[in-house]
């Protein structure tokens, strides 16, 4: 355990003053990704929206946890009241889903963009230290020297990419999941409004 902590401390020391902001960015990024992953739950298994609606109306299925499941429950209960302007009522009822769907989306995108720039800042700082040491012809010194400058340049670049690449891939995956849920919410509204019109015409 002590060896692991010592290795991490040396890694941070080699990266210079840019490493603490990069570490903070990594923590914020994974917190935001974890929150989005847990909140973007569709629910309902592999059933389509129409199948879930039919099962809920028949009483053979009860919503548990999931945005689509909750939307179906709210939508069907609202339709049963036969209010005027059902579409507008559904828009109001589903507006509560907007916050959890979009929460931390901007945070993830911002960190993915900023992390490589912070790594580049560390690279520039490391190269400046390297050139200063070359000018003084100092390979090793108490301030670092050429070796420390090269290490700082490489470590910060590596850290920035390690943060940005997984964040970009997972962020896009979660964005696609969000878009899928939003399409299904619109589909629920369309189905409920069309079935309500059919009931009124009978």
Q: What does the pLDDT profile of the chain (202 residues) look like in tens digits?
A: 665 555 656 656 666 778 888 889 999 999 999 999 999 988 877 888 888 888 888 877 776 778 888 888 888 888 888 777 888 888 888 888 888 899 999 999 999 999 999 888 887 777 777 666 666 655 444 455 555 666 666 778 888 898 999 999 999 999 999 999 999 999 999 888 887 665 555 5
Instruction: Note if the pTM is more than 0.85.
Output: no
Rounded distance, CA 69 to CA 61, Å? 10
Does 133 reside within a domain?
yes
Does 77 reside within a domain?
yes
Does 9 reside within a domain?
no
Q: Tokens 């964005």, residue?
A: 175
Does 63 reside within a domain?
yes
Q: How distant, in Å, are the alpha carbons of 12, 28, 95, 168, 190 from that of 31? A: 21, 5, 25, 14, 35
Among residues 43, 51, 182, the alpha carbon closest in space to that of 105 is found at 182
DSSP letter for 84, please: S
Does 121 reside within a domain?
yes
Total tally of structural domains belonging to the chain: 1
Does 54 reside within a domain?
yes
Does 29 reside within a domain?
yes
Residue 98 domain boundaries: 16-201
């Amino acid at each position: 355990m002590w060896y692991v902590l010592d290795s991490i401390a040396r890694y941070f020391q080699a990266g210079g003053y840019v490493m603490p902001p990069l570490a903070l960015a990594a923590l914020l990024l994974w917190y935001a990704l974890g929150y989005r992953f847990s909140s973007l739950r569709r629910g309902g298994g592999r059933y389509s929206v129409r199948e879930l609606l039919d099962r809920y109306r028949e009483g053979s299925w009860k919503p548990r946890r999931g945005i689509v499941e909750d939307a179906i429950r709210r939508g069907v209960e609202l339709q049963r009241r036969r209010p005027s302007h059902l579409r507008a009522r559904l828009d109001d009822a589903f507006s509560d889903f907007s916050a959890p769907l979009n929460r931390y989306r901007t945070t993830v995108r911002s960190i993915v963009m900023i992390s490589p720039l912070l790594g580049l800042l560390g690279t520039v700082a490391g190269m400046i230290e390297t050139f200063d040491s070359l000018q003084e012809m100092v390979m090793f010194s108490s301030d670092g020297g050429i070796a420390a400058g090269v290490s700082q340049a490489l470590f910060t670049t590596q850290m920035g990419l390690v943060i940005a690449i997984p964040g970009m891939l997972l962020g896009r995956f979660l964005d696609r999941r969000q878009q899928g849920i939003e399409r299904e919410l619109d589909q629920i509204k369309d189905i409920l409004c069309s079935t309500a019109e059919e009931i009124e015409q009978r």
